[in-house]
Amino acid sequence: MRLAIDKARQGIKNGQTPFGVCISKDEEVVSCVHNIVWENMDITAHAEIHAIREACKKLNTVDLSGCVIYSTCEPCPMCFSACHWAKISTIVYGTQIEDARKLGFSELTIPNEKMKQLGGSPIEIIGNILYAECLELFRFWSAQGSKKIY
Amino acid sequence: MRLAIDKARQGIKNGQTPFGVCISKDEEVVSCVHNIVWENMDITAHAEIHAIREACKKLNTVDLSGCVIYSTCEPCPMCFSACHWAKISTIVYGTQIEDARKLGFSELTIPNEKMKQLGGSPIEIIGNILYAECLELFRFWSAQGSKKIY
C-alpha cells in the first residue's frame, strides 16, 4: 500500500487525480501505477483499470488469480467489476468511495461489499488500510491549484 | 445497433467474444468496435470500454454527454459504470447480462436498472432492442470451435 500511496503522490504532482494502485503476486509487485485519466484523455483509465491492464500484459494472461490489488481508495463499481473479471483474489483499500465523492467526483456510491453481495463475487475485500495516509492524498491533491475532477 | 451487430460478427470471425458496440453523437458514429479481450490480452477490453476509449480519443474529451451507446448485450457493471463516468446520455442494448452468463462468462449479474437505482445515475436505459438478432450472435459464436470464455 505504501508503494501505491507513493505512486498516487507522483500522479498528483503530474496533474493527475489522487489515486494509486499496486498489484502483487506471491509477494512480488506486478504493476504499480496512478490514475491517468487526464494524461491519456481516457475516462476509463482509473488506477485499478490501468494496473490490471499492465498486469495482464506483464503476465500474458487475463486471469490474475492469486493476485492482491492495493488501492489507495475503495475501487469504484467499474474498477471493482474489473477486479472480479480479472479473478483477482483480494482487494485491499484505504479511503472509501464516499470520501472520493466528497471531492466532487461523480461517483456511483455503491460499496464494494454491496457489489460483491449482489453479484455473488468470491473476491475478498479488506478496507480502511492506512486510511489516514490515503486520506492525506486527498488533502495534498486539494491543495493543488490545478485539480480537475470528472 | 445494426452496425454494432456487424462489428460483433466480425469480432467472432476473428476469434473474439460476441459483443459489439457503437457510440453515436448527433446521429453520427463516433466509434464502432467489438470486444478485444483476447486480441489485446486485456480483461478490461470489453466492447463498451474499448468504444468509450476510442470516443474520448476522437473527441479529445472525457465527457461524452449527449452520446448514445448501442451495445449488442446489456453492459456488465464495469461497462455500465464506465458509461456513467463518461456521462453518456443513453444506453441502448439487445440481449441481457443473464443471456451472456448462460454462455459461461463469469458475469456479475446486476442489471443496469439496479446499478442506476443504487448509484443514482441519470443515465437513460433502453433494453431489448433487436433482441433476436443480438441473441443470434451468441448462437453464431457458440457454433465456433475455438470459443473461449473468461
pLDDT band at A29; cut points 50, 70, 90: very high
- How many residues can be counted in chain A? 150
DSSP state of A104: T
CA dist., res. B63 & res. B59, Å (int): 9
**Could you tell me which residues are beta bridge partners of residue A92?**
A70, A126
CA nearest to A134, candidates A25, A21, A31, A16: A21
Q: Which of B38, B78, B150 sits opposite A82 (nearest CB)?
A: B78
Q: What is the pLDDT of residue A147?
A: 83
* Cα angle: A77, vertex B36, A53; to 5 degrees: 55
Residue in chain B closest to A64 (alpha carbons) equals B43
- The ipTM, to two decimals, is 0.97
* Chain B interface, best mutation among A44, A79, A87, by max B CB count within 10 A: A44
pLDDT (tens digit per residue) in B18-63: 999 999 999 999 999 999 999 999 999 999 999 999 999 999 999 9
**Could you tell me which residues are beta bridge partners of residue B91?**
B69, B125
CA distance A29 to chain B (A): 18
CA dist., res. A24 & res. B105, Å (int): 25
Q: What is the pLDDT of residue B147?
A: 83
pLDDT band at B127; cut points 50, 70, 90: very high
Q: Active site includes B39?
A: no
Q: Which strand (E) or helix (H) includes residue A90?
A: strand A90-95
CA nearest to B23, candidates B46, B54, B63: B54
pLDDT (tens digit per residue) in A99-113: 999 999 999 999 999
Residue pair A62/A83 in contact (Cβ under 8 Å)? The answer is: no
CA distances from A59 to A69, A80, B23, B50, B147 (A): 15, 20, 32, 21, 22
Which among B48, B54, B107, B124 is annotated as catalytic? B48
Chain B residues with beta carbon closer than 8 angstroms to that of A87: 106
At a CB cut-off of 8 Å and minimum separation 6, what does A19 contact?
A8, A11, A34, A35, A46, A47, A71, A72, A73, A100, A137
Q: Mind giving me the DSSP string for A13-80? A: HTT--S-EEEEEETTEEEEEEE--HHHHT-TT--HHHHHHHHHHHHHT-S--TTEEEEEEEPPPHHHH
Q: What single letter denotes the amino acid at residue A118?
A: L
A119:B106 CB<8 A: no
Q: Which three cell numbers stand for residue A103?
A: 471531492
Q: Is pLDDT of A150 > 90? A: yes
CA nearest to B71, candidates B56, B53, B52: B52
CA distance A36 to chain B (A): 12
Sign of CA dihedral B84, B85, B90, B96: negative
* Chain B interface, best mutation among A17, A108, A121, by max B CB count within 10 A: A108
CA dist., res. A95 & res. A84, Å (int): 20
pLDDT (tens digit per residue) in A34-73: 999 999 999 999 999 999 999 999 999 999 999 999 999 9
Q: How many CB pairs under 8 A join A and B?
A: 117
Q: What is the pLDDT of residue B20?
A: 98
